[in-house]
Amino acid sequence: MGGLRGGIDLGGTKIQAVVVDEAGSVLSSVRRPTPKDRGPEGVAEAMADVLRDAAHDAGAETSGLVGVGVGSPGAVDEASGVVARATNVLPEWVGPYALAEELSRRLGAPTTIGNDVQVATDAEFQLGAGRHYRSLLGVFWGTGVGGGLVLDGRGWVGRGAAGEIGHMVYRRRGAHCPCGRRGCMEAYAGRGAMEAHARAMADRGVSTKLFKIMEQRGRTRLASAVWATALAERDRLATRLVDRAVKAIATTVASAVNLLDVEAVVIGGGMGVRLGAPYVERIEQAMQPHLFVSDRPPAVHLAALGDTGGAIGAALLVGASPAGAQVA
């Protein structure tokens, strides 16, 4: 079988791997938890294992793949394949680590690394909800809120750090953001910040089913599914915090649209995908009063590739220079 590519999406809670064919269709998909206690080496080992299983399911060996792409958090040097400061999702990953070189060696296939959010945006642009447009803002609503841009048909990474929509300022001197600053949109809309807020409210005696649902599901964090269940059960605190998140996302996304005038906004990420179309519609409606050109709003779509979009986008890095350089 020729032309098969591997893609790995590295997240703080899970590693998602896919094998795709020449057209980008998914042949196999494997997901496992991200090891928390073995540092970058342990993560690289787990990534190689997950992709090996995906290749096996597709009837291939990793050494037979044309190449492997990785969407990684942290500071990604695409030319060298080195990743540093992935600490927002992987606390032990502080210093630089030659991830592409390590994976190439373990897998026997050339490996390319890109920014996780940008590759997910590129996947929606090439194959998903953004495929009919030339310009696009991808918003990935999960533990944090990431953003990716395609402008005039090309990904825009700025000097390497563009798209940080979660850290656009929503309220001056506002809530504390996980990034250490105050008032960022993510401080209101990131699932991590929402959980911290919910815990503080529960500690103060505000009644909520959120943590009971979490325990019933055997979870230790307020996963997206926990929020979705609490909303379905009309939990008042969950409803209030999600409403607040919707407002914060809508306001900052509308501001970004006023600056960039993109044709479309695609909403993905764990929360975006789990809460789905009704909440994407609510974000779209809440954007409206803030749009400068209000009679020509951008299209707002739910991510079409769901939560495998990141891994599919990573696979699209293979052979897609100059988006990323390959380390053989």
Contact residues: Zn ion, CB under 5 A? 167, 177, 179, 181, 184
**Min. distance of Cβ 66 from Zn ion in angstroms?**
38
Tell how far CA 237 is from the center of its chain.
25
Nearer to Zn ion by Cβ, of 116 and 284: the residue is 116
At 12, which amino acid appears? Answer: G
154 contact partners, CB below 8 Å, separation of at least 6: none
Tell me the closest approach of the beta carbon of residue 102 to Zn ion, in angstroms. 30
Are the C-beta atoms of 12 and 73 separated by less than 8 Å? yes
- State which residue, 177 or 320, has the beta carbon closest to Zn ion: 177
Written as six digits, the tokens of 172 are 């001056």
Residue 187 CB, shortest distance to Zn ion, in Å, is 6
Of the candidates 267, 265, 24, the one whose C-alpha atom is nearest the C-alpha of residue 126 is 24
Name the residue nearer to Zn ion (CB basis): 175 or 223: 175
Closer CB to Zn ion, residue 106 or residue 167? 167
What single letter denotes the amino acid at residue 268? G
The least distance separating Zn ion from the CB of residue 32, rounded to whole angstroms, comes to 29
C-alpha 54/C-alpha 119 separation (Å) is 19
What are the tokens at 215?
């325990």
- Max alpha carbon distance in the chain (Å)? 60
CB atoms < 10 A from the CB of 158, how many? 9
| Residue 180 CB, nearest approach to Zn ion (Å) | 7
Which C-beta is closer to Zn ion: that of 123 or that of 189? 189
Q: How far, CA to CA in Å, does 84 sit from each of 54, 97, 287?
A: 26, 6, 35
Cα 324 from Cα 79, distance rounded (Å): 6
CB of 147 to Zn ion, least distance (A): 12
**For residue 228, what are its two tokens?**
């979705």
Find the shortest distance in angstroms from Cβ 184 to Zn ion.
Answer: 3
Nearest approach in angstroms of CB 252 to Zn ion is 11
- CA–CA dist 223, 225 (Å, integer): 5
Which residue, 109 or 184, has its beta carbon nearer to Zn ion?
A: 184
Considering the complex, state which of residue 148 and residue 298 has its C-beta at the smaller distance from Zn ion. 148
Parallel, antiparallel or unpaired: strands 111-115 and 67-72 = parallel
Cβ closest to Zn ion, residue 174 vs residue 306: 174
Return left, alpha or beta for 249; rule: phi > 0 is left, psi -120 to 50 is alpha, else beta.
alpha
